[in-house]
Amino acid sequence: MSLVDMAQNDADALRRRVEFYLVGPDGKTPISGETGQPQIMVVTAAVPAWSNVGIGVLTSVGQGRHYATLTQAAINIANGSRIATRYASANTIECPGDTVRIVPFLPGDEMQSGSVRAVGTGTGIPVNDITNFNAGSLLLFTSGAWRGVSVKANSIAGGAGAMVITVAEDRTGYALGDRFVLIGEQS
């Protein structure tokens, strides 16, 4: 099957679908109508093991093609992780499904922009008011000395007009008005 990118912790069930092409014991006849339980394995886990947990049952779309939906919890794992899928029944041979690669965001995801509100030092970056923020978002700077640099946002504090994003690394060199976009985990 295919390598599919999925955004970590994506809430959209349609974007969490994986596909299967099922064939019979002869290895070539397409099998449709299966509604059983596929399995997943986090390939990058310390001890990879197949599991029924984290994926729904199959839905047949005909001509041997089926899909199942991963749970949001199943893809809320470290960026760069890979999840393998498979299905087998009395009517089919073991058929691999799509392999999923967890990424921080997908191309085309809506991104929120903001700007630096004041010059600061250390791990706190004063920003203009932003919404839809979750810890774990990445700030990708689109202007200024940090253009092209991304930093993980650990938390946000302060109310309207006084927001400060805390990042993991000490960052200096940003300036008033530097622009950034939030990518990755957003509410």
| pLDDT digit string, tens, across residues 126-168 | 676 666 566 667 777 777 777 777 777 777 776 666 667 777 6
Looking at the chain, the whole-number percentage of residues with pLDDT higher than 70 is 72
Nearest to 36 by CA among 59, 57, 67: 57
The model carries a pTM of 0.65
Q: Which residues lie below 8 Å from residue 106, measured CB to CB, with a gap of 6+?
A: 5, 6, 7, 10, 15
Average pLDDT over residues 64-68: 97
Cα angle 11-14-17, degrees, rounded to a multiple of 5 = 105
CB 116 within 8 A of CB 126: yes
pLDDT for 187: 43
What is the fold of 112-183?
A: Elongation Factor Tu (Ef-tu); domain 3 (2.40.30)
Average pLDDT over residues 78-85: 91
Residue 41 has pLDDT above 90, yes or no: yes
Residue 72 has pLDDT above 90, yes or no: yes
Looking at the chain, the whole-number percentage of residues with pLDDT higher than 90 is 45
Domain ranges of the chain: 3-103, 112-183
Averaged confidence pLDDT in the chain: 82
C-alpha span between 137 and 159 (Å, rounded):
19
Average pLDDT over residues 39-61: 94
The 3 state secondary structure assigned to the chain is CCEEEEECCCCCHHHHEEEEECECCCCCCECCCCCCCCEEEECCCCCCCCECCCECCCEEEECCEEEEEECCCCCCCCCCCEEEEEECCCCCCCEEECEEEEECCCCCCCCEEEEECCCCCCCEEEECCCCCCCCCCEEEECCCCCCCCEEEEEEEECCCCCCEEEECCCCCCCCCCCEEEEECCCC
Average pLDDT over residues 21-50: 95
Residue 81 has pLDDT above 80, yes or no: yes
What single-letter DSSP state applies at residue 16?
G
pLDDT for 17: 96
Residue 82 identity: R
- Only one residue has tokens 């622009």, namely 179
Residue 29 has pLDDT above 90, yes or no: yes
Q: Hey, what are 136's tokens?
A: 């774990």
Residue 44 has pLDDT above 50, yes or no: yes
What is the fold of 3-103?
A: Immunoglobulin-like (2.60.40)
| pLDDT digit string, tens, across residues 101-117 | 998 767 666 556 666 66
C-alpha span between 187 and 156 (Å, rounded):
13
CB 125 within 8 A of CB 141: no
The answer to which of 7-11, 49-53, 173-177 has the lowest mean pLDDT is 173-177
